[in-house]
Amino acid sequence: MIVERNVPLQPLNSFGIAARAAVLVRVRGEADVRAVRADAELGAQPTFVLGGGSNIVLTGDVKPVVLKVEVPGRRVVRDTARHVIVEAGAGENWHDFVTWTLDQGLPGLENLALIPGTVGASPVQNIGAYGVELQDRFHELDAIDLLTGEVFTLGAAQCGFGYRDSVFKHAAAAPGDLGLAGRALILRVRFALPKDWQPVLGYLDIERRMQEEGVAHPSARQLYDWIVAIRRAKLPDPAVIGNAGSFFKNPTVTPEQCQDIIGRDPKVVHYPMPDGSVKLAAGWLIDACGWKGKSVGNAAVYEKQALVLVNRGGAAHPATGGEVMTLAKAIQTSVYERFGIRLEPEPVVV
């Protein structure tokens, strides 16, 4: 186990916010977690699990022991009647893993191409894009209990997946609760990729591409290329402009609330959900309140997608977590005042 002290976290979070970790340990497998637990100094301290840092806002230095997840490995595990099971270490880069599955001739993850972050963070957020969510391809995962050092396996039902949500985002409120935030470190994730693969289409941006290129039945590779191009055109590359993807979740309202908003704003972008509720495009709501391009210090609303907050200060004068949160709160207030809707942040605020 290598223990690093006073470590700059700016290169380790996609917003590029400057903060430091008092202690950081790189975790390449369960043995590293057990070594931390057994350590006379570190064993008793609280821990903070850091993956790719693409979904966090750091508002100060991190005092708990940072466990930086770097578990490597990608492999085809086995075939079942209807699926091929593939596994990746939690530290693998998500997009590189998606590309690797396609290189193996295994489609199924193409709609999730170019999402920043690591494989280990993907179930935490139940990442989703273009009609596919991680839970649609999830098989099971191995995690280690940070308190007991025991390794355990969870299936989909036990992960409590919801829209950008899982048990890994919730702390246990009472003994016996399934909340695993702060309690579990994900080591490896297994995916079930369908043998009778069908493309997931139906998303406006994709349908537009199909028409433009005259392709009615795109291959997985074709879809992957389109999604990479769509995302590159619309979303800032964290390597160039710091950001954490969508900053707010798309809110859900009742059909009555939606009708009320349509009455005042006929253009509001809304999608009926299978359960009868209606999802609204948070980006549209924020945009309608005039936030595109506005800033607080070096934190700003991205000009091309109002749902994304960006770090305009670059590496030399980065936005602070406080600036990002002040901007986020001002957006929440203005959307609430105009539409009566409370936007919920997507990233974890540390």
What are the residue numbers of the active site? 164, 246, 346
Radius of gyration of the chain (CA): 21
- Please, what is the minimum distance in Å from the beta carbon of residue 307 to ligand EPU? 4
Give, as ranges, the residues between 124 and 163 that touch ligand EPU (CB under 6 A).
Answer: 129-130
- Please, what is the minimum distance in Å from the beta carbon of residue 113 to ligand EPU? 10
Q: Which of 100, 284, 322, 330 binds ligand EPU (CB under 6 A)?
A: 284
First-to-final CA distance of the chain: 25
Enumerate residues 6+ apart whose C-beta is below 8 A from 80: 192
Give, as ranges, the residues between 256 and 275 that touch ligand EPU (CB under 6 A).
Answer: 269
- Please, what is the minimum distance in Å from the beta carbon of residue 203 to ligand EPU? 6
Residue 312 C-beta-side C-alpha neighbours within 13 Å: 16
- Please, what is the minimum distance in Å from the beta carbon of residue 292 to ligand EPU? 6
Span of 38-46, 86-94, 279-287, 330-338 interacting with ligand EPU by CB under 6 A = 279-287
- When the beta carbons of 246 and 320 are compared against ligand EPU, the nearer one is 246
- Please, what is the minimum distance in Å from the beta carbon of residue 269 to ligand EPU? 4
Span of 63-71, 140-148, 190-198, 246-254 interacting with ligand EPU by CB under 6 A = 246-254
307 binds ligand EPU (CB under 6 A): yes
243 binds ligand EPU (CB under 6 A): no
Span of 2-10, 101-109, 153-161, 303-311 interacting with ligand EPU by CB under 6 A = 303-311
Would you call 166 helix, strand, or coil by DSSP?
coil
Write the CA distances from 297 to 237, 313, 338, integer angstroms.
21, 9, 24
Beta-carbon neighbour count of residue 3 at 10 Å?
15
245 binds ligand EPU (CB under 6 A): yes
Total number of residues binding ligand EPU (CB under 6 A)? Answer: 17
Beta-carbon neighbour count of residue 234 at 10 Å?
13
Strand 348-349 and strand 56-57: the pairing is parallel
- When the beta carbons of 129 and 328 are compared against ligand EPU, the nearer one is 129
94 binds ligand EPU (CB under 6 A): no
Element (H, E) at 244: strand 242-246
**Residue 43 in tokens:** 């064993």
- Please, what is the minimum distance in Å from the beta carbon of residue 283 to ligand EPU? 3
Query: What letters, b where the CB count within 10 A reaches 16 and e where it falls short, cover 78-110?
Result: eeeeebbbbbbbbbbebbebbbbbbeeebbbbb
Q: At 60, which amino acid appears? A: G
Residues that bind ligand EPU (CB under 6 A): 129-130, 234, 245-246, 249-250, 269, 281, 283-284, 287, 292, 305-307, 346
